Amino acid sequence: MKKNEDGRKHKISVRNLDFYYGKKQVLKNISMDIRENKITALMGPSGCGKSTFLRVMNRMNDLIPEAKASGTVLLDHEDIYGNNTDVVKLRQRVGMVFQQPNPLPKSIFENMAYGLKIKGIHDKGKQAELIEKSLKKTSLWGEVKEELHKSALSLSGGQQQRLCIARTIVMEPEMILMDEPCSALDPISTTKIEELMKELVDDYTIVIVTHNMQQAHRISDWTGFFYMGDLLEYGKTKEVFNEPKEKKTREYIEGRWG
């Protein structure tokens, strides 16, 4: 496997990516490498292409009519836009956590078991084992272990989001994509999610879209700054925040606009 300068494998390698919704181009010639077992933050003003780029990595954009990508996106050196790609398996390898917690209107246990059944795991004992492991990883087990058959919708917003992360983890992905996972949460719940990400990165590659620059600074190892469909700057987080190379990046970080 090709290693980069910090000794980490490139989990995702993107080259010359253009992306369109119909005739509207929303990503322009994007090239970047996502490091394995690192947290990469994508920041920039609304409408600059961050969430679209996030969804490129597990082909969620396929669900949008007239969406079209060109260029190369490699996951462990395999082209995920190749004709032979199994998109269902891709989304198992590259899980997604959305901005708003989206538990199913089912019990906590059934929320967790839903994906396992799709994966072909129907044995209740095996399901229970994997569910407990995932809930422990998200520090939710102690809070819900006596209430697994209660509705997931009865949980608080922060608990629901951790359940959604656990529901992603139980599928045993290699990457977790997070689209502003804390934007609908209170400060205490946000802190719990951030602490969780720092723990999970030992086992997963994490990419997070955030409008919160302080959050990007706190939790990420690498940061990309998007502006009007362009990736203007990408580098180690400390360097991007302390010594930005691009004027637009500096102005955005200093709060002059956006």
Average confidence score pLDDT of the chain:
93
pLDDT digits (tens, 9 = 90+) for 53-86: 999 999 999 989 899 999 999 999 999 999 899 9
Question: What mean pLDDT do residues 76-105 have?
Answer: 93
By the 8 A CB rule, do 240 and 257 touch?
no
Alpha carbons 212 and 179: distance in angstroms, whole number: 12
Give the angle 196-197-203 at the CA atoms, nearest 5°: 105
Q: Please give the structure tokens belonging to residue 19.
A: 């992306």
By the 8 A CB rule, do 167 and 111 touch?
yes
Residue 16 has pLDDT above 70, yes or no: yes
Give the angle 252-255-258 at the CA atoms, nearest 5°: 60
Which CATH class for the 10-253 domain?
A: alpha beta
Torsion of the alpha carbons at 32, 34, 38 and 44, rounded to the nearest 10: 50
Give the model's confidence band at 118: pLDDT under 50 very low, under 70 low, under 90 confident, else very high: confident
Residue 1 has a pLDDT of 41
Question: What mean pLDDT do residues 110-130 have?
Answer: 94
Domain ranges of the chain: 10-253
pLDDT digits (tens, 9 = 90+) for 209-220: 998 999 999 999
pLDDT digits (tens, 9 = 90+) for 193-238: 999 999 999 999 999 999 899 999 999 999 999 999 999 999 999 9
CA 91 vs. chain centroid, Å, equals: 11
Question: What mean pLDDT do residues 117-129 have?
Answer: 93
* Helices and strands counted in the chain (H then E): 10, 10
By the 8 A CB rule, do 154 and 104 touch?
no
Largest CA distance in the chain: 56
95: left (phi over 0), alpha (psi -120 to 50) or beta: beta
Residue 35 has a pLDDT of 97
pLDDT digits (tens, 9 = 90+) for 24-52: 999 999 999 999 999 999 999 999 999 99
